[in-house]
Chains A and B, each alone.
Chain A
Amino acid sequence: MSGEWPLWEIFIRGQHGLNHRHVGSLHAPDAEMAIRNARDVYTRRNEGVSIWVVRSNDITASSPSEKGPLYDPSNSKVYRHPTFYDIPDEIGHM
């Protein structure tokens, strides 16, 4: 037996103008077959109107061990959120 079909990550855009969203993965020999298989596996019930496929090997991911240095700094920056600012009631909606 020669090699296993490579793994592809599947992204689907739903009907309502949202971003493509990761839905899962599957094996396929090439991109064209990956799209065909994704259509059969992940859009059996009108889940989407557009499919992206990406070779899993081509994805670079952030490392779980970097969670702290990467994401903790934003915890203290509460002024990035609109709720940080008190706007007087008489101003109305802002």
Chain B
Amino acid sequence: MYAQMVTSEGSKARKDMTPDETAFQDRIDRNEKIEPKEWMPDGYRKTLIRQIGQHAHSEIVGQLPEGNWITRAPTLERKAILLAKVQDEAGHGLYLYCAAETLGVSRDELLEALHSGKMKYSSIFNYPTLTWADMGAVGWLVDGAAIMNQVPLQRTSYGPYARAMVRICKEESFHQRQGYDIMMRMCAGTPEQKAMAQDALNRFWYPALMMFGPSDKDSVHSAQSMAWKIKMNTNDELRQKFVDQTVPQAEYLGLTVPDPDLAWNEDKGGHDFSEPDWSEFFAVIAGNGPCNAERLGARVKAWEDGAWFRDGLMAHAAKAGERARAARHAAE
């Protein structure tokens, strides 16, 4: 899940709604899609900008931990694959920024909010990628967790967001499978290689569980977002689903999930598992994770270093436009 702890605005009981708000909620309850120019409550718009923006930022910042390994991939084929995956993440960020922009916020405003720390990105990208096995663990676990969240969001109430999700989901399954493929290869390799895979799982397991955010079964923000159908499942539901899906995959690899209390619970038809350390999560969100400064620093540097180039292209486009207009005039 790339959007964590998004606070929703304007939570209201049906009896307190204005006629416009009631009509809007009725449309959502009928599973109608809300489109950009249509009336929507201000809280819906603001909450969506926050959620889609955070999701977009996560895709963009998410390129950095993997970008770290493009020049160090073990083979040319692995390098080409990783490059394609990181390129996809850039595309996903663009689809999502465009969806957010239909709500009346500009791309520059969104980037400015990311760079100033006003908007967040997923906590997961503040962890370092120390070995090649981390590329496997990130694809398998991080993209796996993202898919859990993104598949239901294809049915979200806001049309442009739902459509962006459809495109993204088509591409994400490549990401997860390439990650698992790396893990399979490492686990079938030398004992040292398998130990690297185990080490990557050890380091990414709890941060992956944190991606879904803390339990929100009592959160008013979540309840409002679910009423608006911009959040489809509770954090706990998705986390449970993720654990149940991932444990057998780890077993197949011959790896051990780093949780001594992990056990199948016949009664609930799912695994019991340990909660991640939520104090660590809050520290990472607050900017004190292992790589927060490095990630945001890289983003801001790329944006600032590229300014002359963006401006140059705009100046060129303006001049070319002038010349074309002058030529048309002369011809008339």
Contacts and interface: CB of A to CB of B under 8 A. Distances in A.
Interface in A13-44: 24-27, 29-30, 33, 40-42, 44
Nearest to A30: B317
Given A26-B98, A27-B107, A5 B314 contact: yes
A18 B265 CA distance: 52
Contact of A1 (B167, B307, B316): B307
B91 A44 contact: yes
Nearest to A61: B37
A4 interface: yes
A44 B310 contact: no
Interface residues of A, number: 21
A9 B272 CA distance: 48
Contacts of B95: 24, 41
A25 B310 CA distance: 18
Interface in A51-88: 61, 63-64
A1 B111 CA distance: 13
Contacts of A64: 35, 37-39
Interface in B103-118: 106-108
Interface string B294-324: 0000000000000100110110110011000
Nearest to B320: A30
Contact of B88 (A26, A30, A33, A44): A44
A44 B106 CA distance: 26
Contact of B37 (A3, A27, A41, A63): A63
28 contacts: A1-B307, A1-B311, A2-B311, A2-B314, A4-B106, A5-B314, A7-B98, A7-B101, A24-B94, A24-B163, A24-B167, A25-B101, A26-B94, A29-B310, A29-B313, A29-B317, A30-B321, A33-B317, A40-B91, A41-B94, A41-B95, A42-B91, A44-B84, A44-B87, A44-B88, A61-B37, A64-B35, A64-B39
Closest 8 CB pairs of A and B: A30-B317, A29-B313, A29-B317, A64-B38, A25-B98, A4-B108, A29-B314, A41-B91
